[in-house]
């Protein structure tokens, strides 16, 4: 899928620049009320339509919406300035006049109806007033049928030589964006990495266009110079004599603690008059980075503030990106921008999470290569109801330590990170919401967690009826001289309160015991999944607890044994598996039992 972007409050275009570096994104419209910023955008994005105007003006808004529909916009991005996101602003909430631009963003999303939107803002949008604002924002967009997620991200984690924390809200029609799956940059960059090759101007020196004087010494500098024939915007502020005198008293990489008390000024913050540190990331670049008294934005050793080009480097703009306007305007454009590398990281994660997943469909089965914690929100949104949930989630019992098995030393069984870091309980309450009123909820678990899972079930409108035992007739011996052979697995069977549950006791037996005697999987049935369940066992459970044509769900499908059992017994099946390899195993097994078609998830 490709994304055609409308960039609201675009400024110079940092957000668009990061996304447009990826093949599937193209910004087709940008809008801002700042003429110089939009000029910068247009000259750096010559193929993008730009609309200059106040978004609160009805005519401007109408023009934006009409143009967005004409150009088939399916993604909206932007960072509406909102000063009301604070504890003091809670009284008026989103109706606070200082938050009116957020509402304009919301109204345009509502009118354009994109597949996805990404909103950037100050982190207090999420943290202020005990989450009041973000809860209201989430509610508004969920009413528009979006699946909404949000987080505070630090640009330093994504290859930007700056610690800049910003809030991001992402809404999608068809999938949940999981911020925890964003990949951190393998390399962390410092101020030295970013600007040491530009360290030769004194106060008042430099010009709009110049030649490079020093060689690039870091990979970051080499990347920044890529396709840049000349250096632009490298102009040092012309400081007053008083300012230059103060800066001369401050040693390299130090701050105003070296100034005499009478020269420190009335600024409350400790970082004012501070120099950047060469081997550390920069603090947040704001719109007044050219003023030493503003904060920690003075050059590490030269007696001047950083230049616009140095600030742009720290913001991760490439050198070929040229800023236009007067000094104040250029500083505002740079200081207000979303760092392009940060935007690119978000864009890459959207591709990885939304585009690389698979959906397998057949006449009786649907398999999702997805995270069960994310997919449940989509299923709830689509109002899916399943008749039964039968699943074998990760047990969180992986062991890397050594122990003895019979006569030979053997390492503990490590099933993978998916088992080791799994949240054992909180998924239960969410999946209970899509279970039919008469459905069964059967969960395999380790003996260690039986009581905890029962407690979680019973706190979520479920009543536990029994604990089922799988007695393994051929258990794997391990450490036999020091402990019992582990030959039993357990499954907890619960139903909803007041349910008329299914229980198909065979007619040829007087009663059923909770134990099922079946061997561990071996031979042709065995796959590469480390905790594969016996098909005979799962068919027996499906046969007893469900009816033909009913819909069975397994949120942690693994190798797909529950699905195979369901289809062979004329039931329908929905399976979810986060691991790509195991999803492929399950898909292959399902294909042997039913006709199929395979399509993209989004």
User: What distance, in Å, lies between the first and last C-alpha atoms of the chain?
Assistant: 8
SS3 assignment, position 183: coil
Pairing assessment for the beta strands 440-445 and 365-368 based on DSSP bridges: unpaired
Pairing assessment for the beta strands 75-78 and 3-8 based on DSSP bridges: parallel
Q: What H or E segment, with its residue span, contains residue 577?
A: none
Return the structure tokens found at 551: 């819909």
Number of H helices, E strands in the chain: 19, 21
Distances (CA, A) of 382 to 3, 46, 272, 376: 23, 41, 53, 10
Radius of gyration of the chain (CA): 30
Which positions are catalytic? 82
d(CA 306, CA 292): 9
Which of 70-107 are b and which e, b meaning 16 or more Cβ less than 10 Å from the residue's Cβ?
eeebbbbbbbbebebbbeebbeeebebeebbbbbbbbe
Read off the DSSP letter of residue 533. Answer: P
The string of DSSP codes covering 333-369 is HHHHSPPHHHHHHHHHHHIIIIIS-EEEEESSEEEE-
Cα–chain center distance at 572: 32
Residue corresponding to tokens 């143009």: 67
Return the structure tokens found at 436: 């039919």
Q: What would the 3-class secondary structure string for 385-424 be?
A: CECEEEECCCCCCCCCCEEEECCEEEECCCCCHHHHCCCC
d(CA 300, CA 279): 10
Q: List strands edge to edge, sheet with 440-445.
A: 515-518, 462-472, 488-496, 440-445, 388-391, 551-554, 572-576, 365-368, 358-362, 596-600
Which of 383-410 are b and which e, b meaning 16 or more Cβ less than 10 Å from the residue's Cβ?
eeebbbbbbbbbbbbbeeeeeeeeeeee
Of the candidates 415, 378, 381, 427, the one whose C-alpha atom is nearest the C-alpha of residue 579 is 415
Task: Count how many residues are written for the chain.
Answer: 602
Q: List strands edge to edge, sheet with 75-78.
A: 49-52, 25-32, 3-8, 75-78, 116-121, 165-172, 147-154
Of the candidates 360, 364, 313, the one whose C-alpha atom is nearest the C-alpha of residue 340 is 313
């Amino acid at each position: 899928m490709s994304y055609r972007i409308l960039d609201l409050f675009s400024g110079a275009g940092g957000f668009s620049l990061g996304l447009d570096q990826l093949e599937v994104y193209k910004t087709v419209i940008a809008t801002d009320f700042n003429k110089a910023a939009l000029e910068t955008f247009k000259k750096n994005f010559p193929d993008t339509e730009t609309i200059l105007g106040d978004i609160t003006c009805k005519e401007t808004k109408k023009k934006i919406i009409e143009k967005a529909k004409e150009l088939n916009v399916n993604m909206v991005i932007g960072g509406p300035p909102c000063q009301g996101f604070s504890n003091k602003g809670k009284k008026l909430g989103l109706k606070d006049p200082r938050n009116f631009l957020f509402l304009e963003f919301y109204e345009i999303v509502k009118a354009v109806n994109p597949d996805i939107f990404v909103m950037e803002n100050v982190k207090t949008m999420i943290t202020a007033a005990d989450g009041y604002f973000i809860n209201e924002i989430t509610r508004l967009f969920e009413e528009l049928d979006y699946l909404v997620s949000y987080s505070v991200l630090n640009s330093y984690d994504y290859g930007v030589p700056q610690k800049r924390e910003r809030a991001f809200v992402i809404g999608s029609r068809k999938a949940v964006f999981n911020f925890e799956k964003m990949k951190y940059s393998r390399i962390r960059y410092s101020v030295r990495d970013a600007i040491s090759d530009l360290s030769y101007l004194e106060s008042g020196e430099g010009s709009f266009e110049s030649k490079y004087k020093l060689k690039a010494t870091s990979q970051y500098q080499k990347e920044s110079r890529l396709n840049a024939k000349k250096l632009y915007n490298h102009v040092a502020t012309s400081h007053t004599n008083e300012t230059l005198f103060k800066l001369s008293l401050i040693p390299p990489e130090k701050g105003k603690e070296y100034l005499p008390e009478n020269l420190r000024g009335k600024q409350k913050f400790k970082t004012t008059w501070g120099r950047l540190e060469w081997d550390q990331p920069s603090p947040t670049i704001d719109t007044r980075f050219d003023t030493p008294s503003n904060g920690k934005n003075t050059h590490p050793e030269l007696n001047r503030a950083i230049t616009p080009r140095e600030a742009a480097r720290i913001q991760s703009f490439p050198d070929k990106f040229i800023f236009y306007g007067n000094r104040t305007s250029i500083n505002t454009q740079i200081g207000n921008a979303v760092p392009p590398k940060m935007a690119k990281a978000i864009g890459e994660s959207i591709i990885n999470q939304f585009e690389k997943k698979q959906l397998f469909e057949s006449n009786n089965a649907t398999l999702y290569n997805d995270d069960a914690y994310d997919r449940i929100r989509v299923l709830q949104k689509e109002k899916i109801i399943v008749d039964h949930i039968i699943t074998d989630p990760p047990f969180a019992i992986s062991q890397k330590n050594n122990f003895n098995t019979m006569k030979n030393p053997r390492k503990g069984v490590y099933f993978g990170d998916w088992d080791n870091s799994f949240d054992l309980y909180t998924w239960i309450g969410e999946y209970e919401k899509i279970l039919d009123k008469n459905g069964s909820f059967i969960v395999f678990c380790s003996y260690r967690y039986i009581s905890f899972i029962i407690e979680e079930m019973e706190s979520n409108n479920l009543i536990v009826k029994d604990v089922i035992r799988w007695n393994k007739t051929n258990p794997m011996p391990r450490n036999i001289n020091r402990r019992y052979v582990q030959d039993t697995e357990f499954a907890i069977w619960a139903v909803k309160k007041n349910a008329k549950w299914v229980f198909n006791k065979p007619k040829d037996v007087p009663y059923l015991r909770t134990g099922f005697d079946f061997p561990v999987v071996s031979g042709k049935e065995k796959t590469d999944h480390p905790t594969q369940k016996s098909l005979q066992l799962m068919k027996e459970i499906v046969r007893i607890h469900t009816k033909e044509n009913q819909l069975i769900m397994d949120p942690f499908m693994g190798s797909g044994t529950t699905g195979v059992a369901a289809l062979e017994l004329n039931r329908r099946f929905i399976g979810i598996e986060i691991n790509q390899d195991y999803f492929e195993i399950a898909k292959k097994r399902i294909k042997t039992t039913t006709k199929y078609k395979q399509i993209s998830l989004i």
